[in-house]
Structure 1
Amino acid sequence: MAMRRLARLVEDQELKEKLARCNFKTVKDVLSLSPLQIMSTLQLSSEECEALLDRLYASCVPKYQSAFTLSQEEEKFSLSLGSNQLDAMLHGGLHAGTVIEFAGPAGVGKTQWCLHTAVRAVLSGESSGRNTSVIYIDTETAFRAERIVEIICKRYPESEPRISECLSKIFLYQPSTISNLSQILETLEVTAVEKDAGLLIVDSIASLARKEIMAGSSQANIARVNQLASWAARLKSIAQQLNICVVVTNQVTSRFSDKEPVITGEANEDEAETSFSTGVKENVYSTHITPALGNTWTHCVNTRLILQYDGSNSRQLIIAKSPVAPFAAFSYIIGAGGIEIKGIEPRIVYFVSYCMRFLSFDLG
């Protein structure tokens, strides 16, 4: 709360200009000073200083609401993913005020889900009267406007005459460094209000962190954790304060784990393949993939949707973490009209086991 931007809290234009001249950007910048320092720096009277402090302190106190009000808001500000089954499982789709993660290997369709979601946000907003603009942060230069056009023409031909209007409501950033992304996130709250945004997409959150801060040394790990914590705090603050949906994509990494030492050569049908015993104990390692960025990032995500190949032309979306939905898997394909969700998968044992692996933490 203390990192809220002053530009959204202060209405008096003259006071805004004074705060800007003194380089006061957040609530914390002002509240870290004594009342006397504030009066002197901003040239305010005691009454004006007291009124400013009252407003800033009030902005730092979380407001309560009833469970009924919360349920009504969730129903009103949820974004459909285009499948009745999946939307019902998620209690309406993607909810405003939350951070949703799509995680999966390269080429599985993470960017396609982002484009699919952006199109649905723009088009559904027109009919519902909600915020319709989308802010799209593309760290891998994977965004293609022509793909948006193709999805609309093939999937929503009735909206084809309004393609230019739809494209004008998607605002694109393409940061190439950690510093660029941090600067964008610092000013994003004001931008989201100005553009009347209802959806924020970051594709991908892992790319720059893994590229610039190589894991290995303790200092590098600490730097990565601190950077991710800073980004996560900003994204959660934007989602909650502006009541918009934040969608991020994440890469995956391999994770190794020790098993109990076994005697090589024993007739163990699970571990050994030889028919004689050497009497030598060896450590056996298992490996599986898990979303990147580790424990810190995992706790910042409200809903985690895992994307994977299922060995055929279709792919799977797995609800691995959700405050409202149970474990479930849905098959989908990627076509000219974007994401097409086929239905819920019956292979319960397989995907539950797979999801449990994804919920384990790593430091990748």
Structure 2
Amino acid sequence: MGLLKSLEENYPLIDFIFQKFCESRGILTVEDFLIHDLNALISFAWSQPNSLRLKQGIDQLLSIVDNLHRPWLNGVELLKDVQQHKQTLSLAYGGIDPFLHVALREGFVTELVGPSSSGKTQVCLQAAASVAKGYADRVVFIDSGNSFYAPRIANLVNQASFSASEQANNEALQIVMKNILCYPVFDIFSLFDVLHQLELKLKNQMFSVRLLIVDSFSSLIIPLLGGSGPYGHALMISAGNLLKKIAQEYNVRVLVTNHMVAGEGGSAKPALGESWKSIPHARLLLSRDRESNTCTISVIKHPSMAAGNQWKFRICDS
């Protein structure tokens, strides 16, 4: 959706006057509009000289948002969609391959939760390298904490390359690096900007994306929660729904990482609270034994797997 200005050409009521009216209330984007108090906005519109046209603009903007919702589908249509379009990944690397093959499904937002140094970024990098090597589609890596490390990707590709030819191995590395698009973001608004740009490119079929990674989603949201009240939560849910929309409408696999916080009795729990729980289709917990360097991924929630299912593997940091 993006900036209100981008709607002006196709929707005459969202004109310069309406945009200035919204701007006076701090509304510059559709997301701003969605999290604003609608009743207060309408009351303010009625107090203006051109109140009727402003009210019509509000109604049109609501209609635009409503039309973006996908129609309801029956069970037969949903099953057909899964069988024809929603595929799992067949990846090139051992270790986490069973996890990636089962968990990263087209149309899914998969959340990987774990404490600090549990290996979340390593899993993301390995997934990115594997998908970029095995498919012609791109991987989009949204990096919120300078976690993307190109030499690590090169190391993974070299480990998985079995050709005796150095030239062939270099060509494989070039393909992987070309297929991974890395976007550094440091706040939620930059994330929205990247996601809207990505959605526009997918909609216009400018390129295809097989895997979208956000590492780490929680680090972008946490600064807005707590003192910001409902504003931060609204942005979190809006961003989560946008990720789900991209996943579902363009058959993209989405992997986001989240960290742990202290819960009741001192036990650790996923960050972002109860309102976030319904956003990911799958929630997976990553833990790591530092002595053996063995990682364990456990299912917290998954549509087709029982809670408690586990995979064990090792990740080399070098």
How many angstroms apart in 2 are the aligned matches of 1:56 and 1:209? 23
Match of 2:301 in 1: 321
Any idea what the Cα deviations from partners look like across 1:47-81, whole Å, max 9, x if unmatched?
xxxxxxx999876442636254134136x622246
- The answer to whether 1:195 aligns with 2:207 is yes
With over 3 angstroms needed to count, the CA separation of the structure-2 counterparts of 1:290 and 1:308, relative to structure 1, is: same
Could you state the TM-score of these two structures normalised by the residue count of structure 1? 0.63
Q: Is the 8 A contact 1:105 1:252 kept in 2?
A: yes
CA contact (8 A) 2:237 2:276 kept: yes
Match of 1:213 in 2: 224
Residue 241 of structure 1 deviates from its aligned partner by 1.3
| C-alpha contact (below 8 Å) 1:80/1:94 kept by paired residues | no
What's the secondary structure of 1:78's corresponding residue?
coil
User: 1:107 aligns to what SS in structure 2?
Assistant: coil
CA distance in structure 2 between the aligned counterparts of 1:333 and 1:220, rounded to whole angstroms: 40
What is the aligned partner in structure 1 of residue 194 from structure 2?
A: 184
C-alpha spacing 1:172/1:155, structure 2 compared with 1 (3 Å): same
Give the structure with the higher percent strand.
1
Match of 2:153 in 1: 148
2:36 aligned partner: none
What's 1:361 paired with? none
Residue in 2 that maps onto 1:228 = 236
Q: Which residue of 2 aligns with 1:330?
A: 311
Change (3 A) 1:68 1:165: same
Counterpart amino acid of residue 249 in structure 2: Q
Q: Structure 1 CA distance, aligned partners of 2:267 and 2:286? A: 15
Q: Is the 8 A contact 1:90 1:324 kept in 2?
A: no
Match of 2:73 in 1: 64
1:306 equivalent in structure 2: 285
**Shift in Å at residue 300 of structure 1?**
0.2
- What's the TM-score, normalizing by structure 2? 0.71
Which structure 2 residues correspond to residues 1-364 of structure 1 after superposition, within 5 A?
A: 3=1, 60-62=69-71, 64=73, 66=76, 67-73=78-84, 77-80=87-90, 92-126=102-136, 132-158=137-163, 160=169, 161-193=171-203, 194-210=206-222, 212-213=223-224, 215=226, 219-256=227-264, 286-310=265-289, 312-313=291-292, 314-326=294-306, 327-335=308-316
Q: Tell me, yes or no, if the aligned pair for 1:87 and 1:93 is still in contact at 8 Å.
A: no
CA distance in 2, matches of 1:208, 1:331: 29
- Cα distance in 2 for partners of 1:98, 1:251 equals 20
Output one character per residue of 1:66-108: Cα deviation in whole Å (capped at 9) or x when no partner: 254134136x622246689987788844111110011101111
Secondary structure of the residue that 1:324 maps to in structure 2? coil
* Contact 2:103–2:110 (Cα < 8 Å) also in 1: no
* Change over 3 Å in CA distance of 1:90–1:63 after alignment to 2: farther
Q: Please list the CA deviations of residues 177-223 of structure 1 after superposition, one character each: whole Å capped at 9, or x if unmatched.
A: 2322232223330134523112111000011222x3363xxx52423
Determine the C-alpha separation between the residues in 2 that align with 1:221 and 1:58: 29
Letter in 2 for 1:155: A
Query: How many aligned residue pairs are there?
Result: 275
* CA-based RMSD: 4.0
Using the TM superposition, name which of 88-97 and 169-178 deviates more. 88-97
% identical aligned pairs: 26
1:206 partner letter: S
Structure-2 separation of matches of 1:19 and 1:123: 47
Q: Separation in 2 of the partners of 1:165 and 1:92?
A: 25
Residue 147 (structure 1) shift: 1.1
Shift in alpha-carbon separation, 1:102–1:57, aligned structure 2, 3 A: closer
Q: For the pair shown, which has the larger CA radius of gyration, 1 or 2? A: 1
